[in-house]
Amino acid sequence: MKERLENIQALRGVAALMVLIAHIVGAEGDYGGNGAILPHFLYMGVVGVDLFFLISGFVMTHVALSGERGAGPAWRFLYNRAARIYPVYWAATALLIVLYAGKQFFFAEPTPFPNPVETILLLPDDQYPLIPVGWTLVHEMYFYVVFTIFVAFRPLRLPVFLGVWAAIIIAALALGGFGVNAWTKIAFNPLTFEFIIGALIALAVRRGVTRLAYPALIAGIAIFSIQTLLFSDKLYPNVMGQFVLRAALFAPPFALMLYGAAALERSKGALAPAWLRRTGDASYSIYLIHIPAFLVTGKLISIAVEDSRLDNLLLIAVFAASALAAGVALHRLVERQLLLATKKLGDRLFAARSQQTVAPEKAW
């Protein structure tokens, strides 16, 4: 399979827009006047996170099975994943720290920041990182660390590896290991099954299992639409923290969408609209920067415009525009440059590592 998966990029765009829309609904409540305009069912966009987790499992499997395996490639795999997550996240976090400092200086509104080490390193913690969506990145880094084991050991077969991983989580949940501390809440979280399902879908598509692409995609969209339009009052926020139920409800429709989109591209070359694929390219930056964008624009509009329905309309429009503009700018001006820089650094580091490994053999 080719390296770039266009429809997977489009699904990333879908997931980022889902989260963005859900948070616009919340921001309207925080900064707007009485009489919210946006409907409650849009809150369901928060489960775009679950779609991200399935996509992550798919992409990591594609990357691992398309490249070399062994100890050396495993280190490079982990480096690449860390380089993909941390630098842009640190840039967005630094910006948010500056904004919160300005908020305290100009408006005497302090922001608690009790976990700087956990925030910066994306370590498990009982409190959210400073950028709230960073909680999902803690899960992502856990996925990558565990998946590195698969990359490191060539004899491991992916279905066996995923089966053992799933069995460990099930056993830990059955024995009450989930709630021991913040680390076990990550290691044994049922949301990990979404990553595992995404990996299995990638394996199936790579093996040419693509005949049910259209029915799967349509069914996935239909199921999630029904969940959102008919049951959002019961599902949000009631099941968001019930991770077993959350995974059971949302993994199936998103798995069908993921399989359908990937299988259509693989078997028929059918691609999602270009604008959605471009949104997917900037999805990580949009995901990170939309909260800081809301902080600035929400505060400015709440000061300049009196509470009214007009205020709400203006807030919604500005929230959407500012978040998308900031996300695209962060992607083009910062994320791309950091990815190029970390790739060059990785090439040098791992070339040097390879030379150090080979040198004793040449001397002998």
In whole angstroms, give the CA distance from residue 25 to residue 41: 10
Instruction: Identify the burial level of 252 via C-beta atoms within 10 angstroms of its C-beta, where 0-12 means exposed, 13-18 middle and 19 or more buried.
Output: middle
pLDDT recorded at residue 3? 65
pLDDT recorded at residue 65? 94
pTM over 0.85: yes
pLDDT recorded at residue 14? 98
pLDDT recorded at residue 357? 43
Question: Which residue is it, tokens 């590592």?
Answer: 353
pLDDT tens digits in sequence order for the chain, 364 residues long = 456 799 999 999 999 999 999 999 999 988 887 778 999 999 999 999 999 999 999 999 999 999 999 999 999 999 999 999 999 999 999 999 999 999 999 999 999 999 999 999 999 999 999 999 999 999 999 999 999 999 999 999 999 999 999 999 999 999 999 999 999 999 999 999 999 999 999 999 999 999 999 999 999 999 999 999 999 999 999 999 999 999 999 999 999 999 999 999 999 999 999 999 999 999 999 999 999 999 999 989 888 887 776 788 899 999 999 999 999 999 999 999 999 999 999 999 998 665 544 333 332 2
Annotated domain spans of the chain? 6-355
In whole angstroms, give the CA distance from residue 282 to residue 17: 11
In whole angstroms, give the CA distance from residue 337 to residue 86: 14
- Please count the residues of the chain: 364
Q: At what angle do helices 134-152 and 48-66 cross, to 10 degrees?
A: 20
Q: At what angle do helices 283-304 and 6-31 cross, to 10 degrees?
A: 20
Cα separations (Å) of 64 from 10, 81, 229, 351, 356? 21, 12, 38, 19, 24
Q: Cα 152 from chain centroid?
A: 24
pLDDT recorded at residue 2? 56
In whole angstroms, give the CA distance from residue 163 to residue 208: 21
In whole angstroms, give the CA distance from residue 82 to residue 67: 18
Give CA angle at 211 (207, 212), nearest 5°.
115
